[in-house]
Structure 1
Amino acid sequence: MSRHEKKIRNQLIFLLGKNPNTLSFIEELTNVGDLLFFGGSIRDICFFQENPPMPRDFDIAINFKNRHLFDSIIKKYSYKKNRFGGYKINISNVEFDIWDLENTWAFKYTNLSPSEENLAKSVYLNIDGIVYNFNKAWVYDEDFRTSVRDCKLDITLEENPQVELNLLRAIVFKEKYKLKFSSRLKKVYKNYLNDKSDRLVDSLYELQLSHYKANYLSKEEIRYELNYI
């Protein structure tokens, strides 16, 4: 385990350990397969290394070895399945979104083959291109590192069922991480603006409320960002 990977593990355990029920849940899940943390929890641990914020939720894909054991564990908790086939579980007010690695959207509907490494390449934005194998303490972060090194938000995989949501997230991340948009990403915005310029501001604003449950950006701030792309 490298120093970088050990630090990720320690910070992840620290965040999960703020409530013993959540950490024990994760430790129990390690028996069903490799737990692949991705999304905001790992991204912010690596971006804000000294003091990562508590994430809104923890996204985990499981490379299953024992699916029957998972089914028996999950029955002990209150959960619901989302429209993409993942499990949403709330434990002591901490939310987990859990997926079967082989059945994530990108592996089902694109030419990308299911693998731990490719999970980091299945995201729309390169800043999301980081995956941490909790069981083995391995990190896959090539696209994430490129984004940080170049201070640039770019597109990793164009095929995505929630492009508009990712366009909103890109505006949020631009400010949060002090990044700029790539020419490729700007082109996507321009295409959307050509198709529905009057409605895009309202659409992104409403997505913000439904996704983040918060008002990070006003309509004026969204309009300002779109005007200067």
Structure 2
Amino acid sequence: MDSNTTIKSEIFNLLRDYPLSISFIKNLSEIGELLFFGGSIRDYYLYNEYRNMPRDFDIAVKLNQNNESLFESIIENQLYSKNRFGGYKVKIENIEFDIWKLENTWAFKEKKLIAGERNLAKSVFLSVDGIVYNFNHDTLYADELRWSMENKLINIVLKDNPQKELNLLRALLFKKKYNYEFSSDLKEEYKKSISLYKNFHEKLHKLQISHYKNEYLTRKDVREELESIYS
């Protein structure tokens, strides 16, 4: 990364034609620290550029004291919905933002880890998701993702997860996208699920269609990937 470039400036450059989205981010950053995590930061880190607009932006907000009502008003001024885990899906100019109060992200709310920006990168199921960027302070935490890059492996970070099947599907997609292999721990998770479901490949394929509204892997692709885990 160029010494004069920050991820913040790259995000603003990416959104230069979306002034309402930029305003939304700026407004949030004035009432708390914005922790970008997941794919919107991962792909920039991997390629040192934004090749495409991210599917969405995942942001955990570490609110400044007494700014709860301001946070709610900023969200409520947008087109939004609340998900079953307590986060907000906000849509602005056809760009989606998944917004969480830091302490309400699943692993922290369930006391799996102590709430904190460093631990946010350790609260993910897959190591390729283990990256967090503090927008306010231009600080990056990427140990888990860096491990995957160096070893060309996808590993498990935190086994407890409310969306394990979705993450097992996502791991198949990441394997194809980045040409990484699965760690032994991740293979064991697949084996457990395969033993529980007679046609687990069919279950993952259907989940892919319902979640992404697209078919990146055919039924045959999914079945062959699962079969290869035993080879």
* Aligned counterparts of 1:102 and 1:112: Cα–Cα separation in 2: 10
Matches within 5 A, 1:168-179: 168-179=169-180
- Matched position secondary structure for 1:158: coil
* Aligned counterparts of 1:12 and 1:5: Cα–Cα separation in 2: 14
Matches within 5 A, 1:130-141: 130-141=131-142
Give the corresponding residue for 2:153: 152
Quote the RMSD (CA, aligned, Å): 1.5
What TM-score do you get using the length of structure 1 for normalisation? 0.95
Q: Deviations over 1:85-109 (max 9, x none)?
A: 0011100100110001011110111
Does the C-alpha gap of structure 1 residues 27 and 86 become closer, same or farther in structure 2, counting only changes over 3 Å?
A: same
Matches within 5 A, 1:175-194: 175-194=176-195
**Conserved? CA contact 1:125–1:166, under 8 Å:** yes
Give the corresponding residue for 1:201: 201
Does the C-alpha gap of structure 1 residues 115 and 40 become closer, same or farther in structure 2, counting only changes over 3 Å?
A: same
Give the corresponding residue for 2:45: 46
Give the corresponding residue for 1:75: 76
Once superposed, which parts of structure 1, at least 4 consecutive aligned residues long, lie more than 6 Å away?
A: none
Shift of 1:83: 0.3
**Conserved? CA contact 2:128–2:154, under 8 Å:** yes
Give the corresponding residue for 1:14: 13
- Matched position secondary structure for 2:57: strand
Q: Deviations over 1:140-166 (max 9, x none)?
A: 111111111111000000000011100
Q: What is the one-letter code of the residue matched to 1:31? A: E
Structure 2: unaligned runs, 5 residues or longer:
none
Percent identity between matched residues is 50
* Aligned counterparts of 1:85 and 1:5: Cα–Cα separation in 2: 37
Structure 1: unaligned runs, 5 residues or longer:
none
Shift of 1:52: 2.9
**Conserved? CA contact 1:5–1:138, under 8 Å:** no
Shift of 1:17: 2.4
**Conserved? CA contact 2:6–2:138, under 8 Å:** no
Shift of 1:47: 1.1
- Matched position secondary structure for 1:83: coil
Q: Deviations over 1:6-47 (max 9, x none)?
A: 442232222222311111110111111000000110011111
Does the C-alpha gap of structure 1 residues 22 and 189 become closer, same or farther in structure 2, counting only changes over 3 Å?
A: same
Shift of 1:203: 1.0
* Aligned counterparts of 1:180 and 1:34: Cα–Cα separation in 2: 35
* Aligned counterparts of 2:80 and 2:148: Cα–Cα separation in 1: 34
Q: What is the one-letter code of the residue matched to 2:62? A: N
What TM-score do you get using the length of structure 2 for normalisation? 0.94
- Matched position secondary structure for 1:63: strand
* Aligned counterparts of 2:158 and 2:170: Cα–Cα separation in 1: 15
* Aligned counterparts of 2:140 and 2:172: Cα–Cα separation in 1: 26
Give the corresponding residue for 1:90: 91
**Conserved? CA contact 2:18–2:93, under 8 Å:** yes
What count of residue pairs does the alignment treat as equivalent? 227
Shift of 1:193: 1.2
